[in-house]
Structure formats: structure tokens, C-alpha cells
Structure 1
Amino acid sequence: MESVSATKLHPPHAEEVPVAPPTNQLSSPLRKIITVATLAVGIQFVWALQLTILTPYVQILGTPHMWVSFIWLCGPISGIIVQPLVGFYSDRCTSRFGPRRPFIIAGTLSVVFASFLIGYAADLGHFLGNSDEANLRPRTIAVFIVGFWIIDFANNLLQGPCRAFIADLAAGDHSKTRTGYAFYTLFTAAGNILGSAAGSSGGIHRVLPFTKTASCDEYCADVKTCFLFAVAIQLVLVTVTVTYVKEKPLRITDSVGNGGKGGIGELFGALRELKRPMWILLLVTCFNWFAWFPFLLYNTDWMGVEVYGAQDKKERVYTMGVHAGALGMMLNSIVAGAASLGIGVLARGLRGEKRLWGVVNFLLAVCLAMTVAVSKMAEHSRRYTVAHDGVREPLPPPAGVKAAALTLYSFLGLPFAITCSIPYTLASIFSSAAGAGQGLSLAILNLAVVIPQMVMSVVSGPFDKLFGGNLPSFVLGAVAAAISGILSLFFLPSPPPDFTKAAATSTPAAFH
């Protein structure tokens, strides 16, 4: 394989993007590509738990709402630091186990360690001197945050090599590349479904009764049980994958861009050389994630506060709202999984992937804006009961309000499926055409994902506190989604012709 620098990741204008030349490596059977794609189940199971139950959990431990988003800074920071380094070194790793598998194993072991820290944070906090009755448990929060940050670093350590592994196995075959990423999206949805289902199932700790302790109440025991399940799923899938799908060790002359500046240096070197198609892809992705991140971060909190009307995070109705939000994310994932099987058909109907991405971004904008309408419906229909101490407590919303909220979650499944598939496929195709390493190329795309997350992590908490509730960030997200749709429809170049043809004629179900 010819040694090239990552600065070659700069495809010319859309109409001039060359089809990747034949490589010396034959593409692998689809069954092996699909096996690697199954790793998305374990990765996304953990993400789903973070998004559905950990944001409410850390507030139950006493963290103020406006500070929660700062805890989530770990995701974008780890994305900026970890993914470029992992991409750079996995493109050059000469381990006898192959270039990607060592990083996947290291990421898995890190997930296991972090899961135990998160699950047992309350017990460890008690051991370190926290009072179980205190409204604020700083030692428990500290252990939780350490685990939370490690698990984000671990997931970033896993995601990049998994996606690059799929592209490696496709070996320049655009049809298999697109199919591999479509299956990755399908298994991402499956992980979301399982994680959201676990998060929405109040009382799941009864499956593992030992998880409930004097320091760990029922909600805490549910969190602990969910993360123990996450460990089991991750270990099984990774063991099967690294055992069944082998990699050829890279020779030093095979690795991409030897003698470069290192992961971060070469990343910025590649950015300086990017041309118009890749820059627009990054821009569309960036606005897309400005839209998504507030909703992904606060959707269950929105259900608990704005839809269910909780005024205190310790109220029973807040927990009910969180579980309802987790159910909504499960419905979202079911729709995303179904949509991933038909991306090719949808793209053909709209005459191209970029048009499909543009249209669903407008759908994303409408759905985010509709959270305001659903919140107002819930507010106008709010009912209360008087507790024994004379304090009014809100009752759960009417069935029609809950159905409207869950419908929004479901409609959002289609744009989420597109977000998880099309940008990565286009980046892989463009980098393959330019002869750049897949690991570093996908790390460049990841910058367009993590920078919006970092910005929103810093501003969304104070912004919501200033204007009240989660809705202001959701409305900003709607505006960003509309901008992303315009950029995709009118400015994003089309992929190479052979990819367009493959996308229009194939779906995961159709390959054999």
C-alpha cells in the first residue's frame, strides 16, 4: 500500500471527485463487515443509558441543572483529543493483532472499569464518608463524574477504530462501505432500543436484587443494573468480533503517513489542505449536531419537568417523566433502525443522499420546534393532587399529551438514522478517493460532531437557566437544523457516481 500523508484528504469539486482506484487488498465478505458493525450495539447501549438516565441521576444526587451540561463536556473534549490520536495511531499500528483490534480491546476494558465506577458511585461515596440522607453528596458525585468521563473517553476509543475497521474490510468497495455503515446504523439503533428500554424500565434492579443496598436506593440500583448489563453485552460482542474477524498486521511501509507529526499535528495539517466538498460536509455536520445535542442531553429532563410538570427532581412524577422519555428514545431507536434499512430507497426517491439529508434536517427542525407546542399543551392541561402535608403535587399529563410527546420522539428517529449513516459514509468515500487513512479521516469528521457538543455543553445550562427550562436550547437547535438542511440541499456536493448508483440500488437487506 502506498504511504500517503493525511493532507491528501482533499477531494476536488463534486463533479471531479475520482472513483477510488482498485486496491491490492480484496474486500472481505459482508458477514465479517456485519460482525464488526455489531459492536455498535454495545457502544450505543452505553450512550443510551447516559442520555436517558444519567442526566436525571446526577441531578438527583444534588447537582444543579445548570451545571449538568458542564459534566457532558467530557464527550466533546475526549472526541477532540482521543479520536484524532486513536485515528492516527490505529492507521499506523503494527501490532501482530492488527491495527484496529488492540484499540477496540483497550476501549472495552475502559468501559468495564468506568461502568463499575458509575454503577457503584453511591456505595463508594458512602464508603468515602457521604451521608445517604444528604441532598448533596459530593463524594458520590465525584466518583460518578470520574466514571462518566472515563466511559466517554472509552467510547471514543471504541467508535473510531470500529468505523475504520468497517472501511478497511470494504477495501475501497463503495457498495460494501455504504452497506457496512448502514448496518452500523442499524445496530446503533438496536443498542439504543436496548439501552432506552433498560432505562425506561423502573424496577429493573429486581433482576439483580443485590444491586439495591443501604446507600443505593431503587433508582440507583436501576442505574447499577443497567451498567452491569452494558458490561456483559460489550464483553460478549467484542470477544466474538476480535476472535472471528482477523486483521493482517501492518508492515511499517503499509501504514499511512509514516514519519508524520503525530495525531493532533497531522489532523490540523489535514484541515489546512481540505477542499470545498469536505469543508461543506463538515459544515453541514456541524450545524446538524448543534441541533441534536441539546435534545439528546435534556430530552428525558424535558419530559420530567416541562411535560410531567415536576418542580423538584426528587418528586415521583419526575422519575415517571424520565422513564417516559426513555420510552420515547426507545421508539426513536425503533424508527431509526427501520429507516436504516431503507436509506437507499429513500435516497433514490429524493435523487441523492444530500437531498435526503437536507429534507430530514427540516423534519428535525420542525420536531424540535414542536417541543414548545407539546410543553404548552402539558401546561394547560396540568392537574394536581394535594399531598398529606398540604403541598400540591402535579399528576402525570393526560394520555393525549404523552402521546404527542412520544410521537415527536418517533418522528425524530428518521433524521437520527440519517445522521448516523450518511456523513460517515461520505467522509469514508471521499477519503478513500483521496488515498487517506480511514482512522484519521473519520477523526476529522468527528471534529464537526464534538465542537458543537462542546459549545452547547458550555452554553446550554446557563442559557436554559436564564430563560427557564429546556425549551430555549431546543429552539436554537431547530434553527441550526434548518441551516443544516439549506447547506445540504444547495451547497453539499454529490458523492462519486458509483456510490450514488450503489446507494440507489442497495439496502442492507438486499445484500448477500
Structure 2
Amino acid sequence: MTEADDEIELVSLSSQNLPVKEDKEEKTDEEENVDAPLLPLTVQSSPPNPLPESDNENEDSTLESPPPPPGGKVPLWRIILLSASGGAIDLVFAIEDTYAVPLIVATGLDIRYATIMLALSPLIGTLFQAYLGSLSDGCKCSWGKRRPFILFLSLLACLGLVIAPLFPSLFSSYTAIGTLGAVTGVAFFDFGMGQLQLPSRAYLLDTLGPTSQVQTGNFIYIIIIGIGTCTGYILSGIDWNSLFNKDNAKDTSTVIVQAQFIFGIAAVMVLICLIATLCSVKEKNPDSSSCIKACPCTQSPKNIVQDFLKATFESFKFVWHMSKHMWLLLAVMLFGFLSLYTFLFFFTSFVGGAVFGGVPSAPKDSEAYQLYAEGVRKGSWALAAGAGFLALSSLFMDRIAKVIGLRVMFLTVQYAVVIVYFVLTFFPLLALSYIGACIALLCQGLYLSIPFTLISLYEANGLMFRKSYSSGNIGGRACFILNTGLFLGEALAGFTTGPLINLFQSSSAIVMSACVSAGLGAVLSAFLYFP
């Protein structure tokens, strides 16, 4: 059939019943914008009428099981596979929480500078997040818009997991090179996993069917996050050095050897989660082309810079038009993750120093250092218990939220965090550390779910902007804004925690700092609008 015949057939169809059908569809869409409680965070790129696409004979026949139509539900097992990358993200973050600072300090770098090194990666992520998000939204790869970026960022994280513990061992005689390798490796996997959050969550939400699945999908995402986090903390809590190296269990490089086992296992698990996510649902990209041609690396440096500046400008434009509700939500994310990263990044150091009385700067064969190393492992088990508590609680979050509401649930957990942090500052006991870890990780799970649900509600009720504004992908840019709050909170935690420890000469300053920022986040959350 020729193109002219196609056009004649479409015209004849439109002259019969299509006008009535289109009016009905427009009315349905208008009703959904008013009545639907939740909307997907991304705008569908395909037109409402599927007839032209169904007649496209040049469509890639290899695309199997495309995302279901907006009226159909996504099977639960597909949502679980789609969320596997989220589990990988928090698996790596859990390992970073427990062993990033001890590993860098073990190479000889002072803890003040170690924390500053941790702040560099989220700052870089904040700068490039808008550009990467723009590339993902406009990607024309035959794989889809999200999967190429999930693949690249996961492989970058795996490279960092290999480099970080390997360089200090290979260049033990050259401390500077070992330190540089550890810092670079940590920066690689922190940047890769941090940037992976946006395409991973967008991939999940792009695929969800009816709007009622958005909240359920977010809570399933939390369950997978809890499993990944728990796995990461359990890996960190096992004494791998004594398990496989019993003759040299008190080696002077205990932390470095531990990191080699933990980071290596984590790299394998990230690859497994990557395969699960990529094979779950094939994206249907109507403008598909070769991934090599679609790769930004094939562009000239001038075009890359222009695209980067354009994406950054569009993001600032989006922020300028945001409503007060979105600004308040961004502030809540900033102070909330400042508190969480301050507590979680340095929690194992707090347990090793304040609870067990160890000294990280003591000679490696001394009792003080062995107490610190033991405290790091015990702190890892406390965080593992907290992650397990998060995964268990996530099974009931959806039901609890429907009974008491998102607002009450969110505020209750935040105020509980403030109280526990305050008590733990003055009573650094191991039992209280376990309670603090459980409450903190539960709060982290809510921070990774409820704000993303709120931006769906704001979009549905016209509360996203203070005045009229049109964007190609409102939900995607809103996710970018929330991730910016996350990155800035992580960066501030890195810049402020080290100097605080040095100023007060106590690990308890970590928990007090987290308590103050958590209190600010809780106060701001009380003014959030829950439609």
C-alpha cells in the first residue's frame, strides 16, 4: 500500500466516526486532570490516537512487549524487575555509608579532607544532572530513552567499585596514588549511582499504566530499595578478612581488605540488577535509531556545550516558575537529606568512636584501632537491621497511608527521628544506635517516595507553577528538582561534618548536627500542602 493510499484511508476514517471519538477522548482527558488523584511523572510522547503508529510498516519489529497502554495495569513482577536498579543504587549507597570514609581514612587522608572529597561527587552530579536528564528525554536510541543511560551509569559505578579498594593495595608504597585511586573510585560509583536515580525512576514511571499505580509503584520501589540497602549493610557487617584470611586476621590493612571483598561482591550484584532491569520491559521509542548515532559522543564539542547550556537554562527557567509548594518541597528535601547523609555516612564512624571508644587515627595494630574497626562492623549490622525494618515496613506503607494519610505518616516519622537523634547524642549506647538506624532508614524510605507522589498531586491539581508554564517533560524536570535537593544535602553533609568533628573533637557532633537539620526539615514539612 502506498503512502497516498494510507492518507486516503486515514481521511476516510476521520470523515466517518473519528470526530465524535476525539471529542470523547478530549473530555476523558479533561476529566482525568480534575479527578485523578495521581498522574505519572512523565508525559507520554506518543499521540492519543494509535492508528498512525499501527499502520507504520517501518516500525522496528524487534520491539517486544512494549509498555502497556494508559488504560492497562503493569504486572507486579514487571514492576519488581523495573525496580531492581533502585535496589542496586541503595546497595551501593549502603556500602558507601559504611566503608567510604573508613577506606579513604585508611589510605592516610585526614577525616576532614575525606569528607570534603565525598562532597565533590554530588556537586558534579548537580551540575550535570540537567544535561543528562535532557539527553535522556530526547534520546532516540532504539533501546529507548532510559535504558542506555541505566547501562552506562551502572557500568561506571562498577568501575568505581573495582578501583576504590584496588589502588590502595596495589600502590601501598605510594600513599598519594593509593589515596587518589580510592577517592576517584568512590567518586565514580557515587556519581554513577546518584545519576542513575533519575532514569531508573523515570523508566519505572514511564511504564506504569493507570494513574492509580503510581503510588503503589513508588511503595514497591521502596521495598526493593529496602532489600538492596539491607543487603549492602549485611555485606559490610561480615568480617570477610577473618573469614577468608584467618592466619592474618589482624592485618594492618584490615579496612582495605574488607573493602576489597565488599566492593567486589557489590559490583557483581549491580550487574545482576542491571540485567534484570534492562530485560524487564522494552521501551517503545517512536523515533528510534542506532544507539551509536544517537550517542552524544558523536556530536561536536561545540554542540555538546550548547546542549549543556540549553538544558541548564531550561532547568533554571523551570525553577523560576515553580510555585511556593514546590519551593517548600525542595527545601524539605534539602534539609531532610542533609540530616540523613550526615547520620548515615558517618554512622559507622560514630559507633566505632563514640560507642566503642576506638580511634581511627591510632596505629593499625593497636587496640584502639581494633575497637574502631569492630565498631564499624557493628554499626554496619545496626544499619542492616534498619534496612530490614524499612523493607518490612514498606509492605504496609501503602495501606497505612490510605488509613491515616501521607501527611500524618510523614510528619510522625520525621519528629521521631529528631527525638531519637537528640537522645543518642547524649547517650551513645549500642541499643540506641540500632533504634536510630531503624528510624533513620524508615525516614529515608519516605523521603524517596512521598515527595515524588506529591509532585504528581501538584501536577494533577495545577499547583506545580505559580503562573502558566509549558515544558516538554514536566514530571521529569520535577524529579530533577527533587534530586537536586538530594545532591545538595549530600554535598553539605560532606563539607560540614568533617570540620564539626575536628572542632568538637567528638563523634557525637555528627548526631547533633543531623538532629538540627532533621528538626528544620520536620518544621518545614508541617507547612507542606497535601492535596
C-alpha separation between the residues in 1 aligned to 2:78 and 2:459?
A: 22
Provide the residue aligned with 2:383 in structure 1.
329
CA positional deviation for 1:427: 2.8
Letter in 2 for 1:290: L
Q: Residues 39 and 456 of structure 2 are in contact (CA less than 8 Å); yes or no, is this contact kept in structure 1?
A: no
Which of the residues 238, 241, 251 maps onto 2:287?
251
Letter in 2 for 1:53: Y
1:120 counterpart SS class: helix
Q: Compare relative contact order (CA 8 Å, sep 6+) and give the higher one, 1 or 2.
A: 1
Question: Gapped runs of 5+ residues in structure 2?
Answer: 1-33, 49-68, 289-306, 465-470
Point out 4+ residue stretches in structure 1 off by more than 4 angstroms: 15-23, 204-207, 431-435
The two structures, once aligned, show a CA RMSD in angstroms of 3.0
CA positional deviation for 1:273: 0.5
2:141 counterpart SS class: coil
Which of the residues 262, 266, 275 maps onto 1:239?
275
Provide the residue aligned with 2:23 in structure 1.
none
2:449 counterpart SS class: helix
Task: Identify the range of structure 1 (430-439 vs 288-297) with the bigger mean alpha-carbon deviation.
Answer: 430-439
C-alpha separation between the residues in 1 aligned to 2:242 and 2:360?
A: 24
Provide the residue aligned with 1:479 in structure 2.
516
Provide the residue aligned with 2:235 in structure 1.
198
Provide the residue aligned with 1:426 in structure 2.
454
CA positional deviation for 1:246: 0.4
Q: Residues 83 and 156 of structure 1 are in contact (CA less than 8 Å); yes or no, is this contact kept in structure 2?
A: no
CA positional deviation for 1:280: 1.7
Provide the residue aligned with 1:181 in structure 2.
218
Provide the residue aligned with 2:204 in structure 1.
166
Q: Residues 84 and 263 of structure 1 are in contact (CA less than 8 Å); yes or no, is this contact kept in structure 2?
A: yes
Is 2:504 aligned against 1:467? yes
C-alpha separation between the residues in 2 aligned to 1:123 and 1:216?
A: 12
CA positional deviation for 1:458: 1.5
Letter in 2 for 1:297: F
Provide the residue aligned with 2:63 in structure 1.
none
Letter in 2 for 1:461: G
Is 2:94 aligned against 1:48? yes
Q: Residues 103 and 165 of structure 2 are in contact (CA less than 8 Å); yes or no, is this contact kept in structure 1?
A: no
Provide the residue aligned with 1:370 in structure 2.
423
Q: Residues 185 and 337 of structure 1 are in contact (CA less than 8 Å); yes or no, is this contact kept in structure 2?
A: yes
CA positional deviation for 1:66: 1.5
Q: Residues 284 and 487 of structure 1 are in contact (CA less than 8 Å); yes or no, is this contact kept in structure 2?
A: yes
CA positional deviation for 1:304: 0.6
1:177 counterpart SS class: helix
C-alpha separation between the residues in 1 aligned to 2:320 and 2:439?
A: 38
C-alpha separation between the residues in 2 aligned to 1:477 and 1:404?
A: 15
Cα–Cα, structure 1 residues 184 and 205, in superposed 2: closer, same or farther, change >3 Å? Answer: farther
C-alpha separation between the residues in 1 aligned to 2:502 and 2:147?
A: 44
2:220 counterpart SS class: helix
- Map Cα deviations across residues 227-281 of structure 1 (whole Å, 9 max, x no partner): 11111111112112212310011439xxxxxx99632221111000101221121
C-alpha separation between the residues in 2 aligned to 1:320 and 1:262?
A: 50
Which of the residues 192, 197, 215 maps onto 1:154?
192
C-alpha separation between the residues in 1 aligned to 2:445 and 2:76?
A: 21
Provide the residue aligned with 2:301 in structure 1.
none
Which of the residues 272, 277, 294 maps onto 2:325?
277
Q: Residues 198 and 479 of structure 2 are in contact (CA less than 8 Å); yes or no, is this contact kept in structure 1?
A: yes
CA positional deviation for 1:338: 1.3
Is 2:373 aligned against 1:319? yes
Task: Identify the range of structure 1 (192-201 vs 74-83) with the bigger mean alpha-carbon deviation.
Answer: 74-83
| Residues 8-407 of structure 1 mapped to structure 2, 5 A cutoff | 20=39, 24=48, 25-26=69-70, 28-126=74-172, 129-130=173-174, 137-171=175-209, 173-203=210-240, 206=243, 217-251=253-287, 262-313=310-361, 314=364, 315-350=369-404, 352-375=405-428, 401-407=429-435
CA positional deviation for 1:320: 0.4
CA positional deviation for 1:326: 0.4
Cα–Cα, structure 1 residues 100 and 438, in superposed 2: closer, same or farther, change >3 Å? Answer: farther
1:418 counterpart SS class: helix
Letter in 2 for 1:317: L
C-alpha separation between the residues in 1 aligned to 2:38 and 2:345?
A: 39
Letter in 1 for 2:152: A
C-alpha separation between the residues in 1 aligned to 2:281 and 2:125?
A: 26
Q: Residues 90 and 439 of structure 1 are in contact (CA less than 8 Å); yes or no, is this contact kept in structure 2?
A: no
Q: Residues 111 and 150 of structure 1 are in contact (CA less than 8 Å); yes or no, is this contact kept in structure 2?
A: yes
CA positional deviation for 1:205: 7.4
Question: Gapped runs of 5+ residues in structure 1?
Answer: 1-14, 131-136, 253-258, 376-400, 496-512
1:236 counterpart SS class: helix
TM-score, normalising length: structure 1: 0.79
